[in-house]
């Protein structure tokens, strides 16, 4: 009898673990995935909007991505990772299209679209979706890990874009106080 209770408990724990990780605590920083996603999204948009249009062509050195190229890299990566998770990119959008988008207005528009697409897609996933196995660049992983990579990748390039901004005299809006 005791063995059955232990096995039942372990089965319950195994099946409920994805739901435990999917629960959110609150909004903003320390608010779980959704709060962290809102934070990095709002910072990326605020920084892009605060950056003068002329700075979108700036690059720190030959052969290094320009400001617009970093933002569009995020757009492409967001849609690519959403595709891994089962969400299709907008019709007609691909890497070649993204290379042609360089103006501040278009870059900011696509950035907002990709960030919003991630937000909506993640809000709709279930614990079963998060546990679903996928193959990402030859590695077996889960949809949950794909979403983790999305947020890490966006934060990684946020740091790069802050450095670009500082190097061109732009103060990130959230650090003016």
Q: Kindly report whether the global pTM for this prediction surpasses the value 0.85.
A: no
What distance in Å separates the CA atoms of residue 56 and residue 78, rounded to the nearest whole number?
Answer: 20
Q: Which CATH superfamily is domain 28-170 in?
A: dinb family like domain (1.20.120.450)
Pick from 119, 112, 114: which is nearest to 33 by CA? 119
Q: How many CB atoms lie within 10 A of CB 172?
A: 16
CA 155/CA 176 separation, integer angstroms: 20
pLDDT at 8 over 70: no
Mean pLDDT of the 151-163 span: 97
CA distances to 67, 112, 135, 155 from 107, in Å = 10, 9, 29, 18
Encode pLDDT of 119-133 as tens digits.
Answer: 999 999 999 999 999
- pLDDT attached to residue 22: 47
**Res 91: pLDDT:** 86
| Helix (H/G/I), strand (E/B), else coil: 139 | strand
pLDDT band at 26 (very low <50, low <70, confident <90, very high): low
Q: Which pLDDT does position 142 carry in this prediction? A: 96
């Amino acid at each position: 009898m005791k063995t059955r209770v232990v096995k039942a408990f372990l089965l319950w724990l195994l099946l409920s673990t994805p739901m435990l990780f999917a629960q959110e605590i609150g909004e903003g920083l320390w608010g779980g995935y959704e709060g962290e996603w809102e934070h990095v999204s709002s910072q990326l948009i605020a920084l892009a909007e605060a950056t003068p249009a002329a700075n979108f062509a700036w690059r720190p050195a030959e052969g290094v991505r320009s400001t617009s190229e970093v933002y569009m890299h995020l757009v492409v990566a967001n849609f690519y990772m959403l595709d891994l998770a089962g969400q299709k990119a907008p019709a007609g959008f691909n890497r070649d299209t993204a290379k042609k988008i360089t103006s501040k207005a278009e870059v900011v528009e696509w950035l907002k679209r990709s960030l919003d697409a991630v937000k909506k897609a993640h809000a709709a996933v279930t614990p079963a979706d998060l546990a679903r196995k996928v193959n990402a660049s030859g590695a077996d992983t889960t949809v949950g890990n794909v979403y983790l990579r999305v947020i890490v990748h966006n934060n990684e390039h946020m740091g790069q874009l802050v450095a670009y901004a500082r190097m061109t005299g732009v103060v990130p809006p959230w650090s003016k106080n």
